[in-house]
Amino acid sequence: AQTVTQSQPEMSVQEAETVTLSCTYDTSESNYYLFWYKQPPSRQMILVIRQEAYKQQNATENRFSVNFQKAAKSFSLKISDSQLGDTAMYFCAFMKGTGNQFYFGTGTSLTVIP
Partner 1 sequence: DVKVTQSSRYLVKRTGEKVFLECVQDMDHENMFWYRQDPGLGLRLIYFSYDVKMKEKGDIPEGYSVSREKKERFSLILESASTNQTSMYLCASSLSGGFANYGYTFGSGTRLTVV
Point out which residues bind partner 1 (CB under 8 A): 6, 9, 33, 35, 37, 42-45, 47, 50, 52, 91, 95, 97, 99-102, 104-107
Distance CA 85, CA 109 (A): 13
In the complex, least distance from residue 45 CB atom to partner 1, rounded to whole angstroms = 4
Comparing CB distances to partner 1, the nearer of 41 and 114 is 41
Residue 21 · residue 8 · CB < 8 Å: yes
Residue 90 · residue 4 · CB < 8 Å: no
Comparing CB distances to partner 1, the nearer of 18 and 104 is 104
